[in-house]
Structure 1
Amino acid sequence: MPYWLMKSEPDVLSAATLQRLRQARWDGVRNYQARNFLRNMQADELFFFYHSSCPQPGIAGIGRIVRTAYPDPSALDPHGPYFDARASAEKNPWSAVDVEFVEAFSDIIGLARLRSIPELAQLPLLQKGSRLSVMPVEAGEWAAVLALR
């Protein structure tokens, strides 16, 4: 089963908020490669929930995909932050998935700690210039991160 890492700014959607809500739509992805990864996700696949653009970036927990990709409605909301004037109800290039909470880590696993693990050397998150908000995680990388919690 493929594994994933998905980034969100905690003030937009945090692991704690997902825990409270139980389920949420993961939307607003506006990079074609990240969107394609969303489109490859299948129900029941797991992802690391990564907090980004915050005082303590890092992996905060685990979520699960509960609904596969569908047209992202946030692209059609002219008052929303993810509006895309090129998108329409008939032709929406963006996708969203629905996710559910699985687990919160007692401590966020920060970038410095992730970088110190040799098994994670090829993790896309740790590659120079990698800014994707959605990316695959290999099974060995998944296990190495789980060993850190």
Structure 2
Amino acid sequence: FLDEPTIGLDAVSKLAVRDFIKRINTEKGTTVILTTHDMQDIEALTHRVMLIGNGQILLDGSLEELKKRVSDKKEIIIKHSGKTPTLCEGMNYLEQKDDKLKISLDPKMISVSEGIAYLSRETELIDLEVSDISAEEMVARLYKEYQI
């Protein structure tokens, strides 16, 4: 059982502790119970996540399952030159700052590849990143949903 094992550590020490935890789990076949608010620890170390609130297990599953439960949307971050693109159905602006845009894409309405092709027709793309909802955003939404 480890409670906030990387809190207050520098980056090198955090990586060393995470590697140690992974090695113990793999080599010894030991289950490691981890309580943490560090989303990077959660993403790096866990196969299974439990959300506990008010003394009860509220959710139990893989990180991917919990992310999909909260949102199956994708985030596209683009850096562009030229005009700000208009968005098609299934896409929404999340953030806009100068030449950088964060866009939400609903894959039920438009595929990621179609969304990227559409954006490339609308503006000149300099850089592009596609990701699922972050662990931090997932936990924040779950805390709000369960009023924790």
* TM-score, normalization by structure 2: 0.22
Structure exhibiting the larger radius of gyration computed from Cα positions: 2
* TM-score, normalization by structure 1: 0.21
